[in-house]
Amino acid sequence: MMHRRKIATDNLNPLIFSLMANDLFVGFTKFEYGGNFYYRDRGYTFEEQLNQITEELLNKPIAAYDSAERHAVIPMMILTPTVVNDGRKLYIAARPVSFMNYDILNFPKHASPKISGVDFQTLLEDHNGANLRFLSALRMSATFPYITPNTTLPTEPAIKIMDAGISDNFGVSDAVRFLYAFKDWIGENTSGVVFVSIRDSPKLDNVKQKTGQTIVDDFTQPISSVYNNFENFQDINSDMLIGHAKSWFNGPIDRIDLQYKTETYLPILQKMDSIRQNNSRASLSWRLTTREKYSIEYTINSTENQAQLMRLAELLGDSVVVNR
C-alpha cells in the first residue's frame, strides 16, 4: 500500500518548475554521477523525483541487476527506447543483448540487411555503458516530447533517444524477438510460452461515429486519424508476429491481455466527479487526481481482467489471488 501510494505522487509540478526556473531562465548547472558531470535539467529533476518516490530502490547501475537475473531472482528486463536518428531500437539490459537481432541471420546473402536494434552495452562499451543509471534508462524509455528532454549519447554522429512506445507501446515485438533467439532451448525445456500484456487502453473498442464535422475537422482528420490509431497499427502488427511465431516455435503459445477499461466503474466515478462524467479515463499525466487513481486501481476487478487472471492461473498451474 505504501509503495502504491508513493508511486502516484505528483511528478509533474517539479518537472514544470525545473523547466521554468532552470532550463529557460536560470541556466544549466552541473551535477556529478559516476565520476562524470552532467547538466541539471528536466531529466535530472524527473529522475530525482522518481528516485524519491521509489525510496532509492532503483538508484543503481543497470549492471547491478545482472547476477539477480542470471539466478532467476528477478525477471530479465530489456528496455527499448527509440533512436530518433533512424527509428531503430536501443536495447538496454543488465548485460549485452545483441541476440535480439538474431533474426537477421536468416538472410546471410541479403546485400542490404538492416539491423533493427542497437545493443547499448556493446555500442558504449568504451564509455562504461554498464554503469548507466537504471533510473536514466527508465527515463529514456519514457521520454515525452517537450516535457522531458531527449537523451543524447556520446557517439559520432550523436544519437538522440525518445520514448519506446513510438515503435511498440506494449513490447510484444521485442518479446517475439527474444523468443525467436532462444526458440530451440525454450521449446525443449518449457511447456510453452505465455505473452502477458498490461495495457493502458482497450485492445478492442467500438468505432465511434463522427458527428458535427467542420471544415477544420476535414482538414486535420488525415493526421489525427493516424495519431489516434497508432496503437491499433501496433496491435495489428503484434498479432501478426505472434501468429507467425506459432509456425516456427515448437510449443503452445498463449496470450493474456490485462486492459485499463473504466466502463465497469463509470457510475462510481461519476459520483466522485460529476463535472467529468463523459471522461472516466485517467489522463496521460505525471499527476493523477484521487478519482483517476481510483479508476486505475479498480479496473483490475473488471469482468474481462478477472477472466484473464483466471486463465493465467490455469496456464501457470497455480492460483492468482486479487485483493478487491
Do 210 and 308 belong to one domain? yes
Provide the grid cell at 151.
Answer: 537523451
Structural domain that includes position 248: 172-261+302-316
pLDDT digits (tens, 9 = 90+) for 44-63: 888 888 888 888 999 999 99
pLDDT digits (tens, 9 = 90+) for 145-188: 777 778 889 899 999 998 888 888 889 999 999 999 999 999 99
- Residue 286 CB: number of other CB atoms within 10 A? 21
Do 245 and 309 belong to one domain? yes
Mark residue 34 as left, alpha or beta (left: phi above 0; alpha: psi -120 to 50; beta: remaining).
left
Do 69 and 49 belong to one domain? no
Distance CA 132, CA 64 (A): 10
Grade residue 75 by pLDDT with cuts at 50, 70 and 90. Answer: very high
What is the model's pLDDT at position 211? 61
Q: Is 321 inside any structural domain?
A: no
- Give the C-alpha distances (Å, rounded to integers) separating 168 from 82, 95, 196, 202: 9, 22, 15, 16
Do 23 and 159 belong to one domain? no
Stretch 200-210: mean pLDDT, rounded? 72
What is the model's pLDDT at position 277? 44
What is the model's pLDDT at position 136? 93
Residue 275 CB partners (closer than 8 Å, separation 6+): none
Q: In the chain, pLDDT over 70 holds for what percent of residues?
A: 71
Answer yes or no: is pLDDT of 215 > 50: yes
Grade residue 257 by pLDDT with cuts at 50, 70 and 90. Answer: very high
SS3 70: helix
What is the model's pLDDT at position 10? 64
What is the model's pLDDT at position 267? 53
Grade residue 295 by pLDDT with cuts at 50, 70 and 90. Answer: confident
Q: Is 140 inside any structural domain?
A: yes
Q: Is 286 inside any structural domain?
A: no
Q: Is 1 inside any structural domain?
A: yes
Do 112 and 193 belong to one domain? no
Q: Is 285 inside any structural domain?
A: no
Stretch 86-115: mean pLDDT, rounded? 83
Do 94 and 186 belong to one domain? no
Sort 187 into a burial class: Cβ within 10 Å, 0-12 / 13-18 / 19+: middle
Residue 60 CB partners (closer than 8 Å, separation 6+): 133, 134
Q: Is 214 inside any structural domain?
A: yes
Q: Is 296 inside any structural domain?
A: no
User: Cα-atom radius of gyration of the chain, to the nearest Å?
Assistant: 22
Q: Is 277 inside any structural domain?
A: no
What is the model's pLDDT at position 289? 75
Grade residue 227 by pLDDT with cuts at 50, 70 and 90. Answer: low
Stretch 27-52: mean pLDDT, rounded? 79
What is the model's pLDDT at position 209? 65
Answer yes or no: is pLDDT of 112 > 80: no
Report the domain count for the chain. 3
Do 124 and 52 belong to one domain? no
